[in-house]
Amino acid sequence: MSNPIHFTKVILQDSFFAPRQQVNREVTIPSQLEILHKTGRITAFDHIGHWNPKDFFTPHRFWDSDVAKWAEAAAYSIHTHYNKQLDDALDTIAATLARSQMADGYVNSHYQSIGVHKRLTNLTHAHELYCAGHLLEAAVAHKQATGKDNLLKVMRKYMVFVDDKIRGSKRLGRAYDGHQEIELALVRLFKLDGNKRWLNLAKHFIDVRGQGRSALGHNPGHELLHDWDREARARGENPKDYWAKTYAYAQAHAPVREQTEIVGHAVRAVYMFTAVSDLAALTGDTSLLAAAERVWDHMVARRTYVTGGLGVAAANEGFTNDYDLPNENAYAETCASIGAVYWAQRMLNITGNGKYADMIELQLYNNIPAGISLDGTQYFYENPLASNGSHVRQDWFDCACCPPNVARLFASLGNYVASADKTGIQVHLYAASQITVADHGLELELSGNYPWDGRIKLKLTLTASRKFELSLRIPAWCAGHAVSVNGKRIPAAQLPVKDGYVSIEREWSTDDVVALNLPMPVRTVHANPMVKADAGKVALQRGPIVYCLEACDNVGNELHRVRLKPDQPISAVHDTDLLGGVTALRVPAQVDRNDGWGADLYRATPAKADEVEVIAVPYAVWCNRQPGAMQVWVRA
């Protein structure tokens, strides 16, 4: 069991994350605050109490979570880079919530607007505890960043209300939210204040989830009803009418410990398993850990895009069938990748297995950064792996979960670089950075130009010489890594890779330097033959970076005319002027000529092909020039 080094102790200095953090701080977070105001999401709380439905629109049931995620992002941001305007904005939000909070602790702009008598009657769909969970995360982050407990006080009172209503009542004793989130938030509150009540409530939510089919004696057919059906009937509604058509949509089709596959709405699933992993770590419940490992392995082996994208279908914003990974209409919501990072980090800290860090790296260098423009102002909600040119980033969304989610992740990116335990330090990511590990009296300086260059230098500064294990992740994509200490190569045989890491145990002294080389040839990646969408195609990767073709670099929107010649050498060229500074690939290819066909739509002779070099750019930065077609998987 290791603990992540907190982002406040990890100063990113690389060319990939650090500029994004700066843009996030200087552009994204302020501009999102403006939008939250403009769209009424913050003032929504102020209308509570003197609300006239005829005068005001009803705050959407998701709105509080948008404000919450933004507040969490702002708290992280001022934790590392103080900013009075953001500090004040957070205080304003705290004060607004405090003003709006009911005497019994309840606070929710939607229900307080439409009528609090309706509260807690539709946990299945109303996102009530989801909003509460996000607000709670914000409160914890705010307390940690500022030491203030103005927001935390509100949320702790709200959580007392929730726990009293849930575990303290017969009516709601088996209730749980249709959108998991509060569980992981309660764990964070427990970690902050040590009050077991929060941990127990989180565990309760996971324990009762999906348990709820019980024979009702008074029902003639002894019909088995799901908890959510009973909740709907109690409201006087027909369960068949509600939009989430299967319990699997919200991972409530079976008790959590019995789940074997990743199913349903992707964000719900990864948020839930984040909490499940937290609980496994904190309670030692091996049945929870086993479920999390099982479902994780299923997700990675059968339902994850090569870019990290999770969730195929728009219909359920989630998973469909094994190996069903269509490219052009991939959903791959940005939020699902962010949640996967949370889950992976918990699993990594429990198991020490590098496969979880591989996932974090995949998400952070590919699907997640693709979700926001380089200038920090425009967003993708869905991240398809191919586009005819019609998929373009938006300024905002009615359902605006992704933008503030990216903001809070970017503001706390340092969390994922390294961890520590009693035996030593584990380095998971190789972005150039300055890391402080107080427990080991260590300053660790990571340098190099990762992810564009695989040569990494780690310089240790120690208060005193000290024996500990320095573990370095060897990514699954890497073959032929090399390690040297103070210029002396350690033969691979002496340094076996175990669970994705090499561990150097020695007496470390200040100014020791470890050099790690992770060779980065361009790789042509093939999908499992069960994946129909990728048959006959390859994806290009170099290091952790997944590439794509964009129309503007190549033949225009008809990228399907390109066929790679993957047995020929592909050159990687770093270009500091391109898309914020990226390594692009120059790939020998053929392009089917579309001239010479006259009016023929079909003919017995194939098209003539031109020999060309196509340009591939990182998927992470696509759609940052003119809109156009894009493809990750290319014919080969």
Q: Determine, following the binding rule CB under 8 A, whether residue 567 of this chain makes contact with its own copies.
A: no
Q: Which of 20, 41, 119, 302 binds its own copies (CB under 8 A)?
A: 302
CB 308 within 8 Å of CB 367 = yes
Q: How many residues comprise the chain?
A: 636
Q: Which residue has the tokens 């505890």?
A: 129
- Closest approach, Cβ 358 to its own copies, in A, equals 12
Cβ neighbours of residue 197 closer than 8 Å, sequence gap 6 or more: 163
Q: Which 8-state DSSP code applies to residue 593?
A: -
- Quick check: helix, strand or coil at residue 197? helix
Q: Which residue has the tokens 């109490």?
A: 49
Cβ proximity to its own copies: between 237 and 297 the closer is: 297
Q: Determine, following the binding rule CB under 8 A, whether residue 606 of this chain makes contact with its own copies.
A: yes
Please report, for residues 102, 377, 384, the alpha-carbon distance to residue 388 in angstroms, rounded to integers and kept in the order given: 50, 23, 10
- What span, in angstroms and rounded, lies between the C-alpha atoms of 70 and 86? 10
Q: Which of 99, 532, 565, 574 binds its own copies (CB under 8 A)?
A: 532
317 is catalytic: yes
Cβ proximity to its own copies: between 552 and 591 the closer is: 591
Which of these is catalytic: 131, 401, 402, 623?
A: 401
Which of these is catalytic: 317, 333, 361, 550?
A: 317
Amino acid at 466: R
Binding mask 245-284 for its own copies (x = CB under 8 A): ----------------------------------------
Q: Which is nearest to 376 in space by CA: 70, 16, 24?
A: 24
Please report, for residues 54, 189, 629, the alpha-carbon distance to residue 196 in angstroms, rounded to integers and kept in the order given: 44, 10, 52
Q: Determine, following the binding rule CB under 8 A, whether residue 529 of this chain makes contact with its own copies.
A: yes
| Bridge partners, 586 (sequence order) | 571, 615
Cβ proximity to its own copies: between 163 and 592 the closer is: 592
Q: Which of 230, 524, 586, 627 binds its own copies (CB under 8 A)?
A: 524
- Closest approach, Cβ 186 to its own copies, in A, equals 33
Q: Tokens for 457?
A: 């230098």
Q: Determine, following the binding rule CB under 8 A, whether residue 569 of this chain makes contact with its own copies.
A: no
Q: Which of 263, 300, 427, 616 binds its own copies (CB under 8 A)?
A: 300
Side-chain half-sphere CA neighbours of 126 within 13 A:
23
- Of the ranges 193-201, 226-234, 503-511, 593-601, which one interacts with its own copies (CB under 8 A)? 593-601
611 is catalytic: no
Q: Which is nearest to 290 in space by CA: 264, 259, 328?
A: 259
- What span, in angstroms and rounded, lies between the C-alpha atoms of 140 and 147? 10
Q: Which of 172, 525, 579, 612 binds its own copies (CB under 8 A)?
A: 525
Cβ proximity to its own copies: between 145 and 539 the closer is: 539
Cβ proximity to its own copies: between 216 and 525 the closer is: 525
- Closest approach, Cβ 561 to its own copies, in A, equals 5
Cβ neighbours of residue 115 closer than 8 Å, sequence gap 6 or more: none
Contacts (CB under 8 A) with its own copies, residues 338-397: 388
Catalytically active residues, by annotation? 317, 401
Residues that bind its own copies (CB under 8 A): 297, 300-302, 304, 306, 323, 388, 523-532, 535-536, 539, 558, 560-561, 563, 592-594, 597, 599-607, 635
